[in-house]
Structure 1
Amino acid sequence: MRHFLIIAIWLFAAALPVHAEETELVSLETRQDSQGWEAVGRLDIAGKGFCTAALIRESLILTAAHCLYDEDGSPIDSDRFEFLAGLRDGRASATRAIRRAIPHPDYDPNGDTFAPLEVAVDIAVLELERPIQNTRIRPYLIATRPLTGDEIGVVSYGRGRENLPSLQEVCSVLGRQTGVIVMTCDVDFGSSGAPVFTVRDGETRIASVVSAMAQIDGQKVSLGTSLDGPLSVLMAHFSTIGPALPGGTQRIISIGERNDTGAKFISVN
């Protein structure tokens, strides 16, 4: 999880009212608590730490692009990743190795971490070695971008809560600028790549991916990538790389489209 101070371009958000009755971050300790969130998992990175990721197709997970790189900007080999869907107290609902990891083509791991244009493309997809075909672990839908004042929620792993997912059911969008969403959601080291959710017409959809922590006038906020545009570009890029997924050609996921089956970055230093 990258942590930095956002300068004047974000100060507009500090004066915006928060309309939602926000909730606290709570641990999902039981199977009943975790129901519906099993497709969120911990993305372990051997020798480094972990990020949070979420299933968007039976064979694809979505996370933050910066999770795919070492501190020197070199890409991490795919065999160092492991996805633990629904990990809770040492037990995962499904465990998968990673076949390949593809960041957004415009993401620059050696670029200016402080630049909103980098945050705006801080997304990546990872192809699982084997699809997850489980009625309890359903890929999430993709939502249109949230608007200022919208209620959102986030499920993540983080520092001090590595073995349990945590849910903040209601937080708020403070503002949007240059493809970056400023949110009040409570995240920490390890929450990079965590899915930000909206619920529309009874369906839970991913509206953003957590990229970084920041401060606005001393208030802790989180930054997310708007999936409008960047996700379509990423999926088009993914479809041109390497072999097709087993069973057919990789297809682009459109914003708002139903998926095939419907449902952290932490330093070790």
Structure 2
Amino acid sequence: MAVLAGLMVALTAGSGGSAGTGADGPLHPLVTGDQSRGWKAVGRLELGGGGFCTAALVAPDLVLTAAHCLFDGTTGGRLPLAGLEFRAGWRNGRAEAFRGIRRGAVHPGYAHGKAASVDRVRHDLALLQLDRAIRLPGLVPFGIASQPGRGDAVGVVSYARDRSAVASLQELCHVLAGIDGVVMLSCEVDFGASGAPVFRIEDGVPRILSVVSAKAEMGSRKVALGTVIHDGLEVLRARLAADEPGGAMPRFGSGTARSAGAKFLRP
């Protein structure tokens, strides 16, 4: 608790304090095909053993999520790739596409099990290569937004523990503060939302600016912590392409994802 509190203080101090913003919007479950149009490239990442996170397509064969989703919360080891599955546009037991995972890379700066810190959250990114590309109408990969600014209006699409059957869209929340590649967000998240894409609309098109890493509290206010993507995605692409040691995730590990799914830093 004290370490995370220090992180929150660092965030607000580094940005000159929390920004005053307008009211945030509510969560809207994307129950119908019409409601989910434009968001079907967001999906549930099944971790095996009942755990899940949220992930999003950033290329026909690549999905972006949080690095901590790929580790067993009990053993600390990486989860076996054979147990992972991306379910694009998962909605009431159906998906637009099911894909296994061929390879995966975590950000080289990420240290699993490290105490909550700006450094850990800043590098909480992972890129997964699907076993087959998804090339379907309505599943257009998302582009990456420019750097976020304090007070920016953003939105988030996520799955969570009590709303795991369909994704939910919060069209309006805000960047409250930021420092060193980490943003504090007013967006509503819960267990399962780890890896969820945070969007900003640029030229009428939603682009991802951050990935949800954790939930926390600032006083009595519930907030989310996000990893700013910026050039982190290019680091991961290069790591995946180079197949560097630690880049491709080998099929090893005996743990399950029971405790790893959407394991947030706790306030």
Q: TM-score band (shorter)?
A: 0.7 to 0.9
Q: Is 1:222 matched with 2:224?
A: yes
Question: In the TM superposition, what is the alpha-carbon distance from 1:217 to its structure 2 partner?
Answer: 1.5
Contact 1:59 / 1:130 at 8 angstroms: preserved in 2?
yes
Question: In the TM superposition, what is the alpha-carbon distance from 1:11 to its structure 2 partner?
Answer: 4.4
Alignment of 1:49-68 (within 5 A): 49-68=51-70
Contact 1:141 / 1:205 at 8 angstroms: preserved in 2?
yes
- Please list the CA deviations of residues 29-66 of structure 1 after superposition, one character each: whole Å capped at 9, or x if unmatched: 11010000000000001115000000000000000000
Give the aligned partner of residue 78 of structure 1. 81
Question: In the TM superposition, what is the alpha-carbon distance from 1:230 to its structure 2 partner?
Answer: 2.0
Q: Is 1:265 matched with 2:266?
A: no
Give the aligned partner of residue 144 of structure 2. 142
SS of the equivalent of 1:149 reads coil
Contact 2:44 / 2:88 at 8 angstroms: preserved in 1?
yes
Match of 2:141, as an amino acid? P
Contact 2:184 / 2:224 at 8 angstroms: preserved in 1?
yes
Give the Cα–Cα distance (whole angstroms) in 1 for the partners of residues 101 and 161 of structure 2.
23
Give the aligned partner of residue 109 of structure 1. 112
Runs of 4+ that moved beyond 6 A: none
Question: In the TM superposition, what is the alpha-carbon distance from 1:97 to its structure 2 partner?
Answer: 0.7
Question: In the TM superposition, what is the alpha-carbon distance from 1:6 to its structure 2 partner?
Answer: 2.8
Cα separation, partners in 2 of 1:110 and 1:167, compared to 1, 3 Å: same
- Please list the CA deviations of residues 92-148 of structure 1 after superposition, one character each: whole Å capped at 9, or x if unmatched: 011111111211111111322x11101001000111010001011110011112100
Give the aligned partner of residue 9 of structure 1. 10
After superposition, the CA RMSD in angstroms is: 1.8
Q: How high is the TM-score relative to the length of structure 1?
A: 0.85
Give the Cα–Cα distance (whole angstroms) in 2 for the partners of residues 21 and 108 of structure 1.
35
Q: 123-132 or 222-231, which moves further after superposition?
A: 222-231
Match of 1:105, as an amino acid? P
Q: Is 1:38 matched with 2:37?
A: no
Contact 1:52 / 1:265 at 8 angstroms: preserved in 2?
no
Give the Cα–Cα distance (whole angstroms) in 1 for the partners of residues 231 and 239 of structure 2.
12
Equivalences, count:
242
Alignment of 1:147-186 (within 5 A): 147-186=149-188
Give the Cα–Cα distance (whole angstroms) in 2 for the partners of residues 215 and 66 of structure 1.
20
Task: Give % identity.
Answer: 43
Contact 1:5 / 1:216 at 8 angstroms: preserved in 2?
no
Give the aligned partner of residue 251 of structure 2. none
Give the aligned partner of residue 94 of structure 1. 97
Give the Cα–Cα distance (whole angstroms) in 2 for the partners of residues 172 and 265 of structure 1.
25
Cα separation, partners in 2 of 1:60 and 1:32, compared to 1, 3 Å: same
